[in-house]
Each structure stands twice: as C-alpha cells, then as structure tokens.
A and B are shown apart, each in its own frame.
Chain A
C-alpha cells in the first residue's frame, strides 16, 4: 500500500457563524457544506459564502447532478438546491451516518465509529451492500471510479482509496497531525475537498499522482 503525505493546496473558511463543517459536496460550480442548521454554498474561486439554505444538516452532504442529499439526525433529506425545499427523506442505517456520496445510482454512507460504508437504495434507504473499514469512517466520495473515504481516529486523519468489493486499502494520503477530516468530496478530476470539522474550514487536497 502506498502512503503519501497530503498536499493541501487551498483552504476556505472559517465562515462567520458557521463554526463546524459536518459534510461537503460539489455540484460542479459551487461547494456545499453542512453546518448544523444550514447547508451553505461557497464560490470555489473567491472562497465567499454565496447562500445558505435553512435545513437540518448534521453530517454528510451529496449531489446527484440535480438534488442535494443531506444527513440530518437519522434521516437522509433530498433537497432542491434552488429553493431549499426538502422533497423527500429516507432513513439512515441504524445509528445515523457520517459521510455521504452519490455514485452509480446509489447513495454511499459512511458510519463513523461502526467503521462501515453502506450502499443504499436512494428510494427506500435499504442497505444493498456493506464495506468494512479498519478505521473510523467520516467522509466518503468517488473519484474517477475510485472509492475514497476519510478516517478520523486517535486524533489523526487520512484519505484512503479502498477496493469497493473487498474493502482492501489501496493507498492512503495522510493529513498533517491535528488536521482532521469530517467530510470528503472530489471535484471529479484531481482534487479532494475535505471538511475540517470544528475548525470550520474546508481544505483542498491534491490527489496523489
């Protein structure tokens, strides 16, 4: 397994009155992040806060090309990003969720201390299959067909590429000490957006060559 140190290329935030970043997503134009009682859009060029939708937002955020998905309590809400309206919701697996991403018609949800990633039916919330991790899972994302997840355990975080069938770790990108990752998203090309939890920051990390 290849291990490389994280190359942090940019930081966004912290943003006023948004002390925590619990989940991050990217819709191709703007970054979205969950801050407890709002989902917020950030312009990735200027780093400025563009808008805030008043919806419960306690953990991972995802985008399916049209709608946002946001974990709140024990539900996953489907949100219209234009109006902020909650269109529908499905239950999370038992115990809630930490990270959330959309890929290949499914929602993928990471469970922090359970060290698990589940693939969910986005209509019903039924668990389709489960990947076991060796570490506490926070964010999950897909990047060019690769499944990556963030870990946060023993005051240390890294980003791991895992085999989506076996859960085997293929490579890892280690964050500096004290820099923790609460949510993970990719830009679909070569960068990760990492939620910084209580620091209120979002960090951009380059995907290793």
Chain B
C-alpha cells in the first residue's frame, strides 16, 4: 500500500480526519475514495461519506473482493448511524460472507457486532443476546472488545440489570482507552450518563418519584409485585407475565395496582381499559369477562377480588405492590425513548424498531414536533427526526478498524 494511503489511514486511526483528507483529497483511486469516505463520516457528513464509500466499493470491484467488502461494511455502519436498518442488514450479510471466506476475521467480527447492535435498536433483545453470547472477544482488537462490552451493556440496560451494565461499561471504557479511539470513549460516556438518568417513575401508595436503573433492579429482586409499565409486564419473584400483546389486561392490572391497597371503582377500570366514559351494563359485563381473564394470567402472583364498588388487587402472601411507569409517560413515550439516544432517525426506522405502522409513527412524530419536543430535518425519504436542535451526529463509527492500514 502506498505512503499517502498509509499516512491517511494512520491519521484517521488517530481521529484526525482533516489530516487524512490533506493527503488523499485530490485522489479518485479506490483506496483514496474509501479513506475520504471515512474521513467525511468522522466529520459528520454521513450523506457524502456514503457516496464516497459506495464509489470506493465500485472502484475496487469484484476482483478486490476483501477491499470491496470492507467498503460495504463501512457503508453498513453509516446506514446504522442514520438508522437505515433494512439496507444495513443487506450490506452486512454481503460483507460478512466475503470477509469470512477470505479470513479477515477482525472485520467479519465487526460485521457481527454491527448486526447485533441493529437487533438491539430494533428491540430484539433475545436475538441480540444469543448472538453476542456466541462471540468470544478474547484475542480480538481492542476496539472490537470495547464494542462487545458496549453491546452487552446495552442489553443489560434494556433488561434492567444495572450492575451488569455498569460492569460492562467499565470494561468497555478500559478497552476504548487502550485502543485510543476518542469517539468510542464518548459513546461509552453517553451510555454511562444514560445509566445515571431516571430510568422509570415508581408509583407507590405514598406517591410517585423518578428512580434510577439501580433502584429498579433492587425492586425487581424484592418480594414486591411489580406492574412494569416500561415493559408492559407483571413481575413477581421468579414469575414474569408479559402483557405487551394484551393491552386491555395490562391497563386493568395497572389501574388496580395504582389503587392498591384500595380497590379501584368499576368506572375507572372501564375508562382505563375500554376508554368509555359513561359505561352501561354491557360494558360492566365486558369488564367482568376481562377480569376473569386477568385472574387467569395472574394466577400464582395475585388474585383479584370483587368489592361493592369495583375490584381489588390482592398479592400473594401479603406482598407489597409497586407500579413502574416510563419517565415520560404519554402515548409517544416509546418514540421519545428511541430518539433519546441522540441520533437522527427516519420514520421508517422508528416504525421498524417499535413494530408499528409508519402511519402511527408519523402521527406521534407530528404531535411531538408540534409540542416542540423533537425536530425534523431533510425532506421526503431523507427526512430524519432527532431530539437535538441540530443534526449533531455524535458518530460512533469504528470505521478505521474496518479499513485499517494494510
């Protein structure tokens, strides 16, 4: 590899994209295009970066399969950064196959980590956890070991295991420092701040307050019956009752739990579950049917007792009841939770990540934008949504390791 390419690649690895551009700005051969693309990505111009790595991939062509695959990997990483999750998956599959076939194990592993992060963004925790467990980071480059721990921390945070998350972030920080990649360190710092921000609102009979993930974890390991509005599940000791797909039952149990140790009136329950303000006899009959279903799913954790004016939750063995809610608890909270990562999202990526229709997401985004909580930039298909006032991409790109110095 020639001196200008090597010098530019070393500049990039040191986090000096302008130094790299100085050396290759006027060159249009394939390695120079690739390095220019990565430099632009580091400078935050992801649209230009994408064009350049695509041109580089074409210029390398089928004969230089490994170099081309590394360009696809870089393009996949840019796609992930702008939350183009579907194209990202296609690029990763293509790159991964070629890199594995040609024995470029470090970059093949990098492709796997990107794919796990994609799954994590889409909320596919089980898939992400399984694939991460199948990877052995020992012997991998430091930057990838940091990525491994960062991903493990992300999974632990979403699983509400704060101690595991903190431990993983500490290990990620050590690897990032050893690798000397500042952008990676910044991303770990961001995750640490997230861990120190309120993870949920705790609602108990004596009032509601914000709690950190640590307290959530302590609550989960206590004997209390926890109605978890973040995960839409009921949790008691080792028992986990997922109700994400049964919104009526979840609304009922949450209303009962918020009223506990008192009973909840029928009207309140019907309003929460069916959104009916002036119920008639058929609504009351429907409530009895749903209560029967709720008794069945809660069996082993709690019972539901009928009272003169409504129903009362009775946890097993006289245990306490607590309700966890999202820190910002409105209909758009899931969208805000995703945008809270500071990146810019397309509405299709949000729909993909939340498993809902693009139309629903669009309505949420418009309502949030009208309320001044989020901002849009770009037009048409290129439109992105972000919590920040400007598209300040804190790019977490590991691209220098993807192309590296030959």
- B356-406 residues at the A interface, CB under 8 angstroms: 404-406
Question: A98-B3, A113-B29, A155-B65 given as contacts; is B405 within 8 A of A73 (CB)?
Answer: no
Q: Is the CB of A74 within 8 A of B10?
A: no
For B1, list chain A residues within 8 Å (CB).
22, 59, 98, 112, 138, 152, 182, 197
A178 touches B2 (CB 8 A): no
Q: Does B63 lie at the interface of the complex (its beta carbon under 8 Å from any beta carbon of A)?
A: yes
Tell me if A's interface is mostly helix, strand, loop or mixed.
Answer: loop
User: In B21-71, which residues have CB < 8 Å from any A CB?
Assistant: 23, 27, 29-31, 63-66
Query: Which residues of chain B are within 8 angstroms of A113 by Cβ–Cβ distance?
Result: 2, 29-31
B2 and A36 contacting across the interface, CB-CB below 8 Å: no
Checking A73, A138, A154 against B7 with a beta-carbon cut-off of 8 angstroms, the contacting residue is A73
- List A145-194 residues whose CB lies under 8 Å from chain B: 152-155, 178, 180, 182
Q: How far is the CA of A111 from the CA of B63 in the complex (A)?
A: 20
Determine if A13 is an interface residue (Cβ-Cβ < 8 Å): no
Rounded to whole Å, the gap between the CB of B271 and the closest CB of chain A is 65
Asked if A42 is at the interface of the complex by the 8 Å CB criterion, the answer is no
A92–B6 alpha-carbon span in the complex (Å)? 15
A92, B3: Cβ atoms closer than 8 Å: yes
Set A20, A111, A153, A180: member contacting B2, Cβ < 8 A: A111
Contact A72 B406 (CB under 8 A): no
Residues of chain A contacted by B3 (CB below 8 angstroms):
22, 58-60, 71-74, 92, 96-98
Q: How far is the CA of A37 from the CA of B10 in the complex (A)?
A: 9
A125 within 8 A of B: no
What residues of A have a CB within 8 angstroms of the CB of B135 in the complex? none
Binary A-proximity of B236-274 (CB < 8 A = 1, otherwise 0)? 000000000000000000000000000000000000000
Closest Cβ–Cβ distance, residue B257 to chain A (whole Å) = 57
Q: Check: B139 CB closer than 8 A to any chain A CB.
A: no
* B308 CB–A CB distance under 8 Å: no
Q: How large is the interface on B (under 10, 10 to 19, 20 to 34, 35 or more residues)?
A: 20 to 34
- Using A20-B405, A182-B406 as known contacts, say yes or no to A59 and B63 having CB atoms under 8 A apart: no
- A 115-156 contacts with B by CB, 8 A: 138, 152-155
* Contact indicator B4/A198 (Cβ below 8 Å): no
Among A96, A112, A198, which residue has the most Cβ atoms of chain B within 10 A? A96
Within 8 Å CB of A74, what residues of B? 3-4, 23
Chain A residues, CB < 8 A from B2: 59, 95-98, 111-113
Q: Indicate if A84 sits at the interface (CB-CB under 8 A).
A: no
Closest to B60 in A: A154
- Which residue of the partner chain, among B6, B7, B103, B406, contacts A178 with CB atoms under 8 Å? B103
Q: Kindly state whether residue A19 has any CB partner on chain B within 8 Å.
A: yes
A74-96 residues at the B interface, CB under 8 angstroms: 74, 92, 95-96
Is B278 an interface residue when CB atoms closer than 8 A count as contact?
Answer: no
- CB-CB under 8 A from A59, the residues of chain B are 1-3, 6
Task: Find out whether the CB atom of A22 lies under 8 angstroms from the CB atom of B404.
Answer: no
If A112-B2, A197-B1 touch, whether A58 touches B7 (CB-CB below 8 Å) is yes
Contact A58 B6 (CB under 8 A): yes
A19-B405, A182-B1 as given contacts; A72 in contact with B7, CB under 8 Å? yes
What is the CB-to-nearest-CB distance from B241 to chain A, in angstroms, rounded to a whole number? 52
Q: List 19 A-B contacts (CB under 8 A).
A: A19-B405, A20-B405, A20-B406, A22-B1, A36-B10, A37-B10, A56-B7, A60-B3, A72-B3, A74-B3, A92-B3, A95-B2, A95-B4, A96-B5, A97-B3, A152-B1, A155-B66, A178-B103, A198-B405
Binding site for A on B (CB under 8 A): 1-7, 10, 23, 27, 29-31, 63-66, 102-103, 404-406
> Apart from A59-B3, A73-B23, A95-B2, what are 11 other A-B pairs with CB-CB below 8 Å?
A22-B6, A22-B405, A58-B10, A72-B3, A73-B3, A73-B4, A74-B4, A95-B27, A96-B4, A97-B2, A111-B2
